[in-house]
Structure 1
Amino acid sequence: MKHISLILLILFTVSCKKEAQTTDSTTETIITKTDTVYIETYKGEPIKTAKELKAELTEKGYQTFDYVDEKTQDTILMQQYFIAFLKSGPIRSQNEEEAAKLQEAHLAHLGRMYEEGYADISGPFGDNGDIRGITIYNVPTLKIADSLANMDPMVKAGRLEIEIHPWWAAKGFPLR
Structure 2
Amino acid sequence: MNTRILFFAVALMLMSCNDKTVQAEVDTENITEDVVSKKKSIKTLKEELQAKGYQTFDYIDEKTKDTIVMQQYFIAFLKRGKNRSQSKGETDSLQKLHLAHLGKMYDMGYADISGPFGDNGDIRGITIYNVPTQTMADSLANADPMVKAGRLEIEIHPWWAAKGFPLR
| Smaller-chain TM-score bracket | 0.7 to 0.9
**What SS does the aligned partner of 1:143 have?**
helix
Aligned position for 1:168: 160
Matched, 1:125 2:95: no
**What SS does the aligned partner of 1:174 have?**
coil
Quote how far apart the aligned CAs of 1:39 are.
4.0
Quote how far apart the aligned CAs of 1:21 are.
2.3
How many percent of aligned residue pairs carry the same amino acid? 70
What is the rounded CA distance, in whole Å, between the counterparts of 1:47 and 1:108 in structure 2? Answer: 32
Q: Residue 98 of structure 1: which of 90, 104, 120 is its match? A: 90
Structure 2 residue identity aligned to 1:87? K
Greater helix share, 1 or 2?
2
**What SS does the aligned partner of 1:20 have?**
helix
Aligned position for 2:59: 67
What is the rounded CA distance, in whole Å, between the counterparts of 1:40 and 1:157 in structure 2? Answer: 45
Per-residue CA deviation, residues 39-94 of structure 1 (Å, 9 max, x unaligned), is 426xxx91212211111000000000000011110100000000000000000010
Q: Residue 135 of structure 2: which of 143, 163, 166 is its match? A: 143
**What SS does the aligned partner of 2:31 have?**
strand
What is the rounded CA distance, in whole Å, between the counterparts of 1:152 and 1:39 in structure 2? Answer: 38
**What SS does the aligned partner of 2:99 have?**
helix
**What SS does the aligned partner of 1:161 have?**
strand
Q: Which structure is larger by alpha-carbon Rg, 1 or 2? A: 2
Quote how far apart the aligned CAs of 1:32 are.
3.3
Aligned position for 2:74: 82
Higher relative contact order (CA closer than 8 Å, sequence separation 6+):
2
Structure 1 residue identity aligned to 2:35? E
Deviation beyond 6 Å, 4+ runs, structure 1:
none
Aligned position for 1:20: 27
Aligned position for 1:47: 39
**What SS does the aligned partner of 1:129 have?**
coil
Structure 1 residue runs of 5 or longer lacking an equivalent are: 1-5, 23-30
How many residues align structurally?
Answer: 157
Q: TM-score, normalised by structure 2?
A: 0.83
Q: Please report the RMSD computed on the Cα atoms of aligned residues, expressed in angstroms.
A: 2.8
Aligned position for 1:25: none
Per-residue CA deviation, residues 115-174 of structure 1 (Å, 9 max, x unaligned), is 000000000001110000000000000000000000000000000000000000001110
Aligned position for 2:4: none
Structure 2 residue identity aligned to 1:32? I
Structure 2 residue identity aligned to 1:21? T
Aligned position for 2:7: none
**What SS does the aligned partner of 2:161 have?**
strand
Aligned position for 1:110: 102
